Structure 1
């Protein structure tokens, strides 16, 4: 079943999984970036480095695949399922690892299941680096047990079944992100203000001994992945609204994540250098 794995979307997460030691089976991937002539050569080089076969279309990637991993941005998760549905092999597992609301996953499940595939809700519960195939995954839905077996055969090692239908794993991920990404946004607000006031060392000391490291990490996540994380927080807001909770803090978090990501600064080494760039 896992001899041929297809990926829709092969960015940081896909490359981390495909290129990890211990990964089993062949991997064919389609990524929208291969459609961009300016990005194509670099993308294909990344594929070669991870042992991934490049597909120029979704149909080519999915041909004969028993397992499909969807690893796109949050705003493209449903589109990916709609694109895959007419091309998926009967009975193939469609593992949706995207950070989206339970309602979005249920909509994608309806599309895949109607087409004859087996949709599975998978939540990625930590950054893919450095753990790669060891990253914690939550799995839910009607085909969750089969998906756990398939993921284990690929090489994933930290898998947990979540009781409930499609959307149960996503609920855990989305609600947890209120705090995880909210703290990142608060860190940015706090540290930029401290830098402009000239009291960074004093604020960090008041927060606690590990906060210099935490602040550096939190800012890095936002500067490198802010746009992607903002899209996820939009899905978190939809999750909360579906539960009757007004997402006031979550909307603000999405705004702050989007602002930092839009700066295009990428990775900047060191907290002082980050704050110099952000406080300018």
Structure 2
């Protein structure tokens, strides 16, 4: 079996790392960084995983049985268009991108014109360490047969219907809650720190919601947002589109607000240690946001206000 990847970032590499254990599988990969001449990390990963780096999408998908699209949300439709005229009957285009249901419907219409099959796949947990065995949802007109074949390769899958977009819609709505909770928590505690009322806000929240696990919960969230905020922001913009497609303008606005916070914090370029002091972690974000490191940890405590 030959598996092609359009986009060879974290998700694609994780899938390849475990799919290679399933028997006689060969890999090809195209990444936009190759076209931009910035593909050293791609080539190093491909060499490690035994994948052929291709100069064009056409070269990557030639004779491939499965074609995984694993690009950024903004590039998902273009990725489909780049191979649409090349895909033939018997090939399967598996779209794992975190985009709205409408985007996947549009992509499916593009890539199936030559007779290839399309599968909407939503990855529902971090891809490490399980790789392709990470839980996924799948949907599409041929979902039963494709699900059977994926299952034989070790995918941990759940079929959610034949309607394209069903799998990704579930993920997008879940992301609204999960990434929204991250954003609300981080934004609230940053503002509480800046206002000099961190102790009161923290005490109130930890008392009202003890099951969340304080202080580990807000430490973990701020580390995740600083590390992955830019990528999460792109996903949240698609969650916002999903809300608009479903007729919820307030949900659309909320999704964009969450995306803005994730983007802002993610672009700070911080790498935090979630085992550190809670107040120090949030001070570090405030310092970076203000463009200065002069503030000392604890400055915003009530007794220092």
Match of 1:239 among 224, 239, 242: 242
Which structure 2 residues correspond to residues 104-123 of structure 1 after superposition, within 5 A?
Answer: 104-123=103-122
Q: For the Cα contact (< 8 Å) 2:17–2:49, is it kept in 1?
A: yes
Deviates more, 1:225-234 or 1:208-217: 208-217
Partner of 2:15: 17
Which structure 2 residues correspond to residues 63-74 of structure 1 after superposition, within 5 A?
Answer: 63-74=62-73
- 3-state SS of 2:258 partner: helix
Q: Report how many residues are paired.
A: 275
Partner of 1:50: 49
Tell me whether 1:249 sits opposite 2:254 in the alignment.
Answer: yes
Structure 1 residue 143: Cα displacement: 1.6
Partner of 2:145: 146
Partner of 2:213: 210
CA distance in 1, matches of 2:233, 2:82: 24
Deviations 1:102-154 (CA, angstroms, capped at 9, x unpaired):
11000001011112211111111111123322211101110212322332344
CA distance in 2, matches of 1:180, 1:130: 20
CA distance in 2, matches of 1:274, 1:129: 25
Deviates more, 1:256-265 or 1:71-80: 256-265
Q: Which runs of 5+ in 2 are unaligned?
A: 288-305
Which structure 2 residues correspond to residues 82-97 of structure 1 after superposition, within 5 A?
Answer: 82-97=81-96
Question: Which structure has the larger Rg over C-alpha atoms?
Answer: 2
Partner of 1:264: 269
Q: For the Cα contact (< 8 Å) 2:8–2:42, is it kept in 1?
A: no
Which structure 2 residues correspond to residues 168-179 of structure 1 after superposition, within 5 A?
Answer: 168-179=166-177
CA 1:256/1:51 → structure 2, altered by over 3 Å: closer, same or farther? same
Q: For the Cα contact (< 8 Å) 2:29–2:53, is it kept in 1?
A: yes
Tell me whether 1:165 sits opposite 2:163 in the alignment.
Answer: yes
Structure 1 residue 198: Cα displacement: 7.1
Q: For the Cα contact (< 8 Å) 2:142–2:162, is it kept in 1?
A: no
Structure 1 residue 194: Cα displacement: 4.1
Q: Which runs of 5+ in 1 are unaligned?
A: none
Partner of 2:32: 32
Deviates more, 1:140-149 or 1:6-15: 140-149
CA distance in 2, matches of 1:34, 1:268: 31
Q: For the Cα contact (< 8 Å) 2:140–2:162, is it kept in 1?
A: yes
Q: For the Cα contact (< 8 Å) 1:17–1:132, is it kept in 2?
A: yes
Structure 1 residue 172: Cα displacement: 0.7
Deviations 1:65-118 (CA, angstroms, capped at 9, x unpaired):
010111111111111111111122332110100111111000001011112211
CA 1:56/1:127 → structure 2, altered by over 3 Å: closer, same or farther? same
TM-score by length of 1: 0.90
Structure 1 residue 201: Cα displacement: 9.9
Q: Please report the RMSD computed on the Cα atoms of aligned residues, expressed in angstroms.
A: 2.1
CA distance in 2, matches of 1:255, 1:58: 32
Q: For the Cα contact (< 8 Å) 1:64–1:89, is it kept in 2?
A: no
TM-score by length of 2: 0.83
